[in-house]
C-alpha cells in the first residue's frame, strides 16, 4: 500500500494550499521567508509532506498541467531552501543578487504584457521565478531583526528575516522588541550607576583634600 505522504495531490488540494499561503500573515513573501529559515532537520514525516505540498502549490501559477505535477523530493526541497536563503541573504547584504543564466519569456496580448517567466533547465527555475516576481512586486521591505539574541548568545543578534509591516520596524516580533528594550534599559541603568559612583568618588577625593 503506498504511503499517504507520497500520494500525488489533486489540483483542488494544491489550489486550497495556495489559497492558504496567500491568506497567511505576509502572504507568499512571508511564507518564502519562513521556508528559507525553517529547521528541516526537526521536521516529522507529516511536516515534510506538508512542506512539499506547499512547494508544489507555490509553483502552481507556472504549471501548464498541474494535474501531472509531482511533489518535490526531500533532496530537491533542501536545494530549494538553500537557493531561497542565498537570494534573500544576498538582497539584504548587497541589495542585489545574481541569478545565473535564465531565458526570459514575456507573455503579451492585445492589451500589453500579461506576464514574465524566467526559464531554466534546472528544477529550481519556476520556484525562483515566483520568488523574484513577488519580491519585485511587493512594496514592503524584507529586513533582518537587529534585536539582541536570547540569553546564552551574548554578543549576537537575532538576525531573523521578516517582512516589515511599517516604516522603521526593526524587530521581527514583540518578543525581540521586548528583549531589546530590556537590554537597553539595563545598559542605561548600568551607565547611570557607574556615572554616579564616579561622581561620588571624585566628590570624596575633593572633600578629603580640602
What whole-number distance in Å separates Cα of residue 38 and Cα of residue 25? 16
pTM of the complete model? 0.72
Angle between helices 27-37 and 11-23 (to 10 degrees): 100
In the predicted structure, residue 91 carries a pLDDT above the cut 50? yes
Four-residue CA torsion sign, 26, 45, 131, 90: positive
Share of the chain above pLDDT 70, in %: 78
Give the pLDDT band of residue 1 (cuts 50, 70, 90). Answer: very low
Is residue 115 over pLDDT 80? no
pLDDT > 50? residue 2: no
> What is the rounded radius of gyration, in angstroms, for the C-alpha atoms of the chain?
25
Quick one: pLDDT at residue 195? 55
What mean pLDDT is predicted for residues 83-101?
83
- Rounded to the nearest 10°, the torsion over CA 70, 74, 80, 81 is 140
- E strand intervals along the chain: 103-109, 112-119, 142-144, 161-163
Q: What is the mean pLDDT of residues 167-184?
A: 86
Q: Per mean pLDDT, which of 5-9, 121-125, 164-168 is the most reliable?
A: 164-168
pLDDT at 38: 95
Phi, psi for residue 161 in degrees, rounded to 5: -75, 140
Length of the chain: 210
Task: Say whether pLDDT at 3 is over 70.
Answer: no
- Non-local (6+) Cβ contacts of 60 within 8 A are 14, 15, 18, 66
For the segment 74-82, the average pLDDT, to the nearest whole number, is 96
Summarize pLDDT for 13-38 with one digit per residue, the tens.
999 999 999 998 889 999 999 999 99
> Between 3 and 173, where is the model more confident?
173
Rounded to 5°, the CA angle 98-99-103 comes to 135
Instruction: Pick 48 or 116 by higher pLDDT.
Output: 48
What is residue 8's DSSP assignment?
P
Amino acid at each position: 500500500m503506498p504511503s499517504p505522504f507520497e500520494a500525488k495531490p489533486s489540483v483542488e488540494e494544491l489550489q486550497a494550499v495556495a489559497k492558504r499561503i496567500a491568506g497567511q500573515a505576509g502572504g507568499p513573501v512571508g511564507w518564502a521567508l519562513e521556508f528559507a529559515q525553517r529547521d528541516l532537520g526537526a521536521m516529522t514525516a507529516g511536516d515534510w509532506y506538508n512542506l512539499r505540498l506547499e512547494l508544489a502549490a507555490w509553483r502552481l501559477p507556472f504549471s501548464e498541467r498541474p494535474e501531472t505535477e509531482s511533489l518535490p523530493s526531500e533532496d530537491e526541497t533542501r536545494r530549494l531552501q538553500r537557493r531561497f536563503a542565498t537570494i534573500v541573504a544576498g538582497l539584504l547584504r548587497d541589495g542585489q543578487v545574481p541569478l545565473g543564466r535564465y531565458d526570459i519569456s514575456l507573455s503579451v496580448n492585445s492589451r500589453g504584457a500579461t506576464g514574465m517567466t524566467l526559464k531554466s533547465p534546472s528544477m529550481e527555475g519556476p520556484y525562483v521565478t515566483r520568488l523574484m516576481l513577488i519580491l519585485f512586486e511587493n512594496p514592503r521591505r524584507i529586513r533582518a531583526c537587529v534585536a539582541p539574541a536570547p540569553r546564552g548568545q551574548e554578543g549576537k543578534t537575532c538576525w531573523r528575516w521578516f517582512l516589515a509591516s511599517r516604516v522603521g520596524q526593526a524587530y521581527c516580533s514583540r518578543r525581540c522588541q521586548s528583549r531589546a528594550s530590556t537590554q537597553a534599559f539595563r545598559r542605561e541603568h548600568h551607565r547611570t550607576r557607574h556615572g554616579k559612583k564616579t561622581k561620588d568618588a571624585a566628590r570624596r577625593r575633593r572633600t578629603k583634600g580640602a
